A and B are shown apart, each in its own frame.
Chain A
């Protein structure tokens, strides 16, 4: 893994509030999720990494240099803020072209890049309309577009699905995945929504109360244990009791029973318990655990 961002003992204090408390993390290629509840310090970590704010102590280095001191590094970074950041009177094409120039691209190339990126984010038809007339989903696409228009190496997306309806959210996440996997641009995606992070990211850094509480690959988090879903016609309680007698905890979940498998032998125990209870088995299948379950279980 090529390390693109390295935070060492990164601390940020706003008056009496400790937003980040000596955190260490590394971010490499691919899509990395910065997960945590509101106020966990995700936006602060992003702003420190971009050089928008100074750390109280510690450092954040992107491609080996501190962004605040290095315009050359900032030339290759993209940022999509959570808050509004678009001029309502400008058209998308005019705005992206200007932002490309502010990133150092000559005017002719900036115009070409703006047109290309607006096509990629699905705003080709609307590009000459003032941004103030756009829907929330379209504005989010312009925000993503301005972060990509200068072809950055690393892009920071702060809550990119904020304010979007379910369809808009899925469209945005598809765009983010495409940016990371197809365009080959590394991404740091901040979100408080586990599903967004789980469906999009390769790695996760979990922040809570200004501290890093977990970090690793999504596959690593979800592959630790396996959940088996049992669908039986009836006698669910009897099956659960038979499993409990063998030391296996089964949870009633709607019409199904779920069992967290700890060892291979437990598959035989499940089969025997269903037979002992005299239940008719309809389905027995593994279910991949979701991040939400893991974090719920940890708390």
Chain B
């Protein structure tokens, strides 16, 4: 049916009919990349109206603010800089913002596809359930790690520039770079895994987000109530509701603190010589315990997420 159908003023309109596609087919690799890029766009609110975009910008802003404030404070009070919060404290300071970001955005990557039935269209294409869920996880992980590293980068830049001798500062603190990278990785892997594992079991974004936020808050509250100190009578001494070995282990109940405890170990904050009690009672646990607990939580939830999608396909 090819041919000119109209000739006017030298113009020709062709009805080309249906044309078969004879170009390149990039198969599974392209499919994975497409799902990943789509996940990145969803995470950043691109192509999704105003509210998701504003939310993503606000979260980025909220994660940057502590880094900027810390940099400014250090530059103003440089002599007392060692007593001020630094890289080791950054993740703990922004953890609430990071958790909120992951809890709100994470379910957005999985729930709508199942609720709207789009998942079936993905699974009949050259992509496996594992490819799909891995691409979605990687998208959230990419944005989360960019978020956590950006804050540390701002803080690092601020600290270097405010030092009286930046070169000397770099020489003395170069070990902070691998620590920042390692701890950021720990935080980002955890934050990308937990919300997606929860989101895999509900089609409602709000339920998944509420569950994740609730999990962090309730587990932290329970842990705090059981292990926090209260002042006792005249002595003003610290009294724990649960004492001894039990308190150490109960401190692990706080799920949200799992990555920050590993962060403390990476930066050596759990060392008694570090000069503070930031680690709380959990620092009294043998070092491998918080690390193993973190690995168990993250790996276990990751497997749960993967198995859930394998079952959807079966």
Contacts and interface: CB of A to CB of B under 8 A. Distances in A.
Nearest to B20: A151
A102 B116 contact: no
A85 B121 contact: yes
B31 A103 contact: yes
A105 B30 contact: yes
A105 B26 CA distance: 6
B13 interface: no
B314 A54 contact: yes
Contact of A52 (B112, B120, B127): B120
Contacts of B123: 52
A105 B21 contact: yes
B273 to A, nearest CB: 54
Contacts of B47: 90, 94
For chain A, the bracket of interface size reads 35 or more
Interface string B191-223: 000000000000000000000000000000000
B48 A89 contact: yes
Contact of A104 (B19, B28, B113, B121): B28
Residue from the set A86, A101, A146, A183 with the largest chain B CB neighbour count within 10 Å: A101
A84 B120 contact: no
B34 A102 contact: yes
Interface string B12-44: 000001111101111110110111001000000
Contacts of A50: 124
Interface in B86-144: 112-113, 116-118, 120-128
A39 interface: no
B313 interface: yes
A55 B28 CA distance: 24
A24 B208 CA distance: 43
B31 A182 contact: no
Contacts of B126: 71-72, 74-75, 102-104
B116 A84 contact: yes
B10 interface: no
Given A116-B19, A182-B18, A102 B127 contact: yes
Contacts of A79: 120-121, 124
B121 A146 contact: yes
B116 A75 contact: no
A99 B30 contact: no
Contact of A86 (B25, B30, B34, B118): B118
Given A53-B314, A72-B27, A94-B47, A85 B117 contact: yes
A296 interface: no
A67 B118 CA distance: 19
Interface string A25-46: 0000000000000000000000
A113 interface: yes
Contacts of B122: 102
Given A86-B116, A89-B49, 13 more contacts: A51-B124, A71-B27, A75-B126, A85-B120, A87-B116, A90-B47, A94-B47, A102-B31, A103-B31, A104-B30, A105-B30, A116-B19, A150-B21
Interface of B: 17-21, 23-28, 30-31, 33-35, 38, 47-49, 112-113, 116-118, 120-128, 313-314
